[in-house]
A and B are shown apart, each in its own frame.
Chain A
Amino acid sequence: GESVGLHLPTLSVQEGDNSIINCAYSNSASDYFIWYKQESGKGPQFIIDIRSNMDKRQGQRVTVLLNKTVKHLSLQIAATQPGDSAVYFCAEPVASGTYKYIFGTGTRLKVLA
């Protein structure tokens, strides 16, 4: 498959362990954030989102944490599986109420068997 990003930071995690992927965002007024997963050769896929009035949101095996004080997002994946291997990136609106988003460059997650 294609390489989405040749120079991405990489996180290597043992299968079954928990993964934590971080993202720093730029706009302190951003009110909505999304995490996407992109597998090799595929388009980005929505994982989970969070609004700025929340600190934490949980999905199935994933949790997103939002720290507005330091403008930081993290994505936690519990019991990481081989199918979790992908590039993960966060997105925030360019401005409040806009349709347009700023996308991070991403982190490559490698799951080791």
Chain B
Amino acid sequence: DVKVTQSSRYLVKRTGEKVFLECVQDMDHENMFWYRQDPGLGLRLIYFSYDVKMKEKGDIPEGYSVSREKKERFSLILESASTNQTSMYLCASSRGTPGGNEQFFGPGTRLTVL
């Protein structure tokens, strides 16, 4: 059974803290994605990676960075957390063949920044 796991379901951090969100997939997928989900806005792409050490900015990369040192792991980093980064964060992965590939999602991390 395919699986995408995220390190935390709930996280509470303070403004200015550095935050790491970890995602691991066991499907040997080339592509991995980080989204945030906010009420009324749908899923918005922060960053994605199509290979180890490769990354590409999504629609809202400001305030975030990512790391992909191993194929199965994709980390999202908030260098200095701010209250407007309070959100649900979803990680996903997909096969490397472009077009026509569903993305498999993790359970999400609900981050609250105080």
Given A5-B39, A105-B40, A43 and B103 contact (CB-CB distance below 8 Å):
no
Given A89-B42, A99-B50, A45 and B101 contact (CB-CB distance below 8 Å):
no
- Over the window 88-107 of chain B, the binary record of Cβ atoms lying under 8 Å from chain A Cβ atoms (1 yes, 0 no) is 10101010101111111111
Q: How far is the CA of A44 from the CA of B4 in the complex (A)?
A: 11
Q: Which B residues lie within 8 Å of A105 (CB)?
A: 40-42
Contact (Cβ within 8 A) B42 A93: no
Contact (Cβ within 8 A) A43 B110: no
Q: Which B residues lie within 8 Å of A98 (CB)?
A: 98-99
The number of residues on chain A lying at the interface, defined by a beta carbon within 8 Å of a beta carbon of chain B, is 32
Q: How far is the CA of A38 from the CA of B60 in the complex (A)?
A: 22
A100 at the binding interface (Cβ < 8 Å): yes
From B58, B90, B106, B108, residue with most partner A Cβ within 10 Å: B108
Q: Which A residues lie within 8 Å of B25 (CB)?
A: none
Nearest chain A CB to B69 CB, angstrom units: 20
The number of residues on chain B lying at the interface, defined by a beta carbon within 8 Å of a beta carbon of chain A, is 30
Nearest chain A CB to B88 CB, angstrom units: 7
Contact (Cβ within 8 A) A100 B102: no
Contact (Cβ within 8 A) A44 B107: no
Please provide the chain B residues from 1 to 58 with a CB less than 8 Å away from any CB of chain A in the complex.
4, 31, 33, 37, 39-43, 45, 48, 50, 58
A61 at the binding interface (Cβ < 8 Å): no
Contact (Cβ within 8 A) A93 B99: yes
Contact (Cβ within 8 A) B39 A43: no
Interface residues of A (CB under 8 A from B): 2-8, 31-32, 34, 36, 41-46, 49, 51, 89, 91, 93, 96-101, 103-106
A-B pairs with beta carbons under 8 Å apart, 7 shown: A2-B88, A32-B99, A44-B90, A91-B103, A99-B101, A100-B45, A104-B42
Interface residues of B (CB under 8 A from A): 4, 31, 33, 37, 39-43, 45, 48, 50, 58, 88, 90, 92, 94, 96, 98-108, 110
